[in-house]
Amino acid sequence: MIKIGEVLAVSVSVDTVSVNPGKIKYSNNTEVDNETLAAKFSEIFGITHEEALSKLESDSSVVVIAKKVESDKIAELQDWMKEEGITSGINIDEDYKRYYPNDTLASTLIGFCGTDNTGLYGLEERWNSVLTGTSGQLTITSDVNGDAISDDMEEYVASENGSNIYLTIDSTVQGIAEKYLQEAVEENSAKYGGVIIMNPQNGEILAMANYPDYDLNNPQDVNATGLANSWDKLDSDAKNAAFYELWANKNVSYLYEPGSTFKILVSAIGLEEGVVQTDTEKDFLCTGYYTVVEGEPPIACWRYYNPHGELSLRKALEGSCNPAFMQLGQRIGTSTLYKYFRAFGLFDKVGSDIAYTPSSIFTEESKVGPIELATMSFGQRFSITPLQLVTAVSCVVNGGNLIEPKIVKQIENTDTGSITTVDSTEVRHVISEETSNQVKDMMKSVVTDGTGGHAAVSGYEIGGKSGTSEPPVGKEEEGYVASFIGISPIENTEVVCFLALYGLTEEQEHQGGTVCGPVVGEILSEVLPYLGVTSTNSTATDNTEATVSESTGAYVSSVTGQTVASAKSKLEANGFEVVVPSGVDENTTLVTDQMPKAGSYLENGSTIYLYTSENDVRTSVTVPDVKGKSISDATSTLQKSNLNVIVEGTTGVVVSQSITSGKEVEEGTIVTIVVKEELTDTQ
């Protein structure tokens, strides 16, 4: 069983039903008619009448009617046998099957088992020997004829039950990540997407998902996997390949070109080596392109028609300027870059305890020329796995310690009850804490002033970097990869969140800052409060009176236990609209609940709903989509849905909303919208 608080996979008791053809008899020793048996087996087990009849008429001494039959069907069969007086010829043998209570949750991470309960993919495969246990074994010493020499030479090794494995995955964080990942893939018509959320301080993976995903209990259900539309057009090899791709944990087992997210590492290397400072003005020059080798075509900046001009490293990272990073790569040099690539674990197989891990692909160091040096400096023409990138970036932001990613937290021996804790493994120290802090401060600037503005989250300091990878030469059909990696908080970073969308076309929006930045912001807006990460917003306690802030809003007081009339008067005095329950005596009836809760910050004019024990009827509303709208339009749209609004920002359009559109919530719920000027620098 794999679990952390909530069971994600469990072996449940089932049975195998078999028969001895021609030997199924009533208590009076007469044989049971095969037609009668076939009809009943078809009814209980869902097999065809013809299939059941064929088995019953077999010449074999025993045939299996149904495998992995659950208890309710076994009980139905036994009741029928008792009613009919059938006493022999039908066999019920104990068996087990793997069951996944959450169906699709973490499917590509967990993997599934075959008919013999042997793990085939993901953690089920990688940890199969631990989960399964071992059979008992008797060892004897025999002579050339196979006869035992002596009983004293016998040795018995007792069987061991499989162990329980506790994961670092948090099912709530996993659910949040999967929700927004699915929306992003579907809204952008991506081929697939992936997300990883990690604690950089100890390497614990809190969430890891791919979409499309699949039902772990029915991994070959074509209709449930999104393959139905094209399935009939595929040959057998293509069908197998489609399933293998669907089941793969692409965060670990697929390679990709990271693009501009890799500039985080190159910045750290340059700072650690002392060849660059964060804020040296006019340190780099962007003319829209950069000539690496005289006589060879220049490599263009993505802002070819609107070059960045003179830049510091901070401004280069904010604007994701490729020419600046090509110049930085030249300063660092190939041998030094490769030294740090090794130190960051980019040449190691990362995540082998999760799934199959391929080797990264880099140009052999001795064969790296000026062009290769230039392109790798801004994250292209080499391939790593997403987990390798997240692990390396975690090293950069945790003070410089490379820590192996960890998915298993504890292993419980089910025979003895003893628990083994799996400790985090620090591989090596790579960069100084000073360099780490400098890079994090620049990543913060990327979100506040650069291409990562769409990832901003109200009440939290967010750092990040966007990435947009062109398809490899000769593989243009693979499309673009848009990605974003975000961190929070800046000091003592607790969360690294990576999201990527694969297979985007050149004709559609494919810039990482625009496509993935807002999604990472939405994920963090739910994950950070859930994890208890401290917000930069001060909050009032339930017993604190509302205090107006800058005359635009107030913190909500607790009015539970007060009469409806008194509560209404107090809240209205602080600038709020109040909806009271109908049909109650406001002067004597006490308030039992309120929405929003005490301690919430609300703008003046926001609405608070009061409830009493006599009238506690709640109303659900659907959150509308306000992304891309102006402040006034978004506010009006949300308020018409009986939702409260908090606005972060003063001008521009809505780039993210704290609750995704389409979600059902209670009226009065607060939706925070982040407003930014429309960004064009979104590499």
**580: closest CA among 605, 601, 609?**
609
The whole-number pLDDT of residue 160 equals 60
**pLDDT confidence tier of residue 332, bands split at 50, 70 and 90:** very high
User: Under a CB-based contact definition with an 8 Å cutoff, are residues 486 and 520 in contact?
Assistant: yes
Using a 10 angstrom Cβ sphere, with 0-12 exposed, 13-18 middle and 19 or more buried, the burial of residue 20 is: middle
For residues 302 and 327, the model is more confident at 327
Long-range contacts of 55-60 (CB under 8 A, 24+ apart): 55/19, 55/21, 56/19, 56/21, 56/24, 57/21, 58/21, 59/21, 60/21
User: Under a CB-based contact definition with an 8 Å cutoff, are residues 648 and 454 in contact?
Assistant: no
- Take residue 188 and report the two structure tokens written for it: 């952008």
For residues 491-509, average pLDDT: 95
Least confident of 64-68, 281-285, 375-379, 608-612: 64-68
pLDDT above 80 (res 226) = no
**pLDDT confidence tier of residue 13, bands split at 50, 70 and 90:** low
For residues 655 and 645, the model is more confident at 645
Task: Report DSSP letters for 395-407, one per residue.
Answer: HHHTTSEEE--B-
User: Under a CB-based contact definition with an 8 Å cutoff, are residues 314 and 279 in contact?
Assistant: yes
For residues 367-372, average pLDDT: 97
The whole-number pLDDT of residue 537 equals 63
Task: Report DSSP letters for 495-524, one per residue.
Answer: EEEEEEEEEE-TTS---HHHHTHHHHHHHH
For residues 669-680, average pLDDT: 73
Express each pLDDT in 23-62 by its tens digit: 999 989 899 999 999 999 999 998 999 998 999 998 888 8
Q: What angle separates helix 386-397 from helix 263-273, to the nearest 10 degrees?
A: 40
For residues 105 and 223, the model is more confident at 105
User: Under a CB-based contact definition with an 8 Å cutoff, are residues 181 and 196 in contact?
Assistant: no
Q: Coil, strand or helix: which one is 10?
A: strand
- Take residue 494 and report the two structure tokens written for it: 């607790």
Gap between the Cα atoms of 563 and 578, Å rounded: 13
Domains and CATH numbers, the chain: 2-99 (3.30.70.2110), 537-618 (3.30.10.20), 620-683 (3.30.10.20)
**245: closest CA among 217, 264, 219, 271?**
219
For residues 531-538, average pLDDT: 78
Dihedral, 618, 619, 624, 626 alpha carbons, nearest 10: -50
- Take residue 579 and report the two structure tokens written for it: 């909806």
Gap between the Cα atoms of 185 and 527, Å rounded: 20
Strand pairing class (408-412; 164-167): antiparallel
Distance of CA 201 to the CA centre of its chain: 19
For residues 191-199, average pLDDT: 97
Spatial CB neighbours of 462, under 8 Å, sequence gap ≥ 6: 444, 447, 452, 455, 456, 486, 487, 488, 521, 524
Spatial CB neighbours of 580, under 8 Å, sequence gap ≥ 6: 564, 568, 586, 610
The whole-number pLDDT of residue 662 equals 87
Gap between the Cα atoms of 116 and 124, Å rounded: 13
Gap between the Cα atoms of 606 and 597, Å rounded: 13
The whole-number pLDDT of residue 683 equals 57
Share above pLDDT 70 across residues of the chain, in percent, rounded to a whole number: 89
- At 607, which helix (H) or strand (E)? strand 607-611
Q: Coil, strand or helix: which one is 200?
A: coil
The whole-number pLDDT of residue 223 equals 65
Q: Coil, strand or helix: which one is 569?
A: helix
Q: Coil, strand or helix: which one is 543?
A: coil
Q: What is the mean pLDDT of the chain?
A: 87
pLDDT above 70 (res 137) = no
- Take residue 637 and report the two structure tokens written for it: 């749209």
Gap between the Cα atoms of 409 and 352, Å rounded: 16
**522: closest CA among 354, 661, 316?**
661
**358: closest CA among 258, 501, 250, 450?**
250
pLDDT above 70 (res 552) = no
Least confident of 49-63, 423-437, 492-506: 49-63
* H runs (alpha helix) in 209-258: 222-225, 228-231, 236-247, 250-253
pLDDT above 90 (res 434) = yes
**pLDDT confidence tier of residue 656, bands split at 50, 70 and 90:** confident
- Take residue 429 and report the two structure tokens written for it: 């120290």
Gap between the Cα atoms of 564 and 580, Å rounded: 7
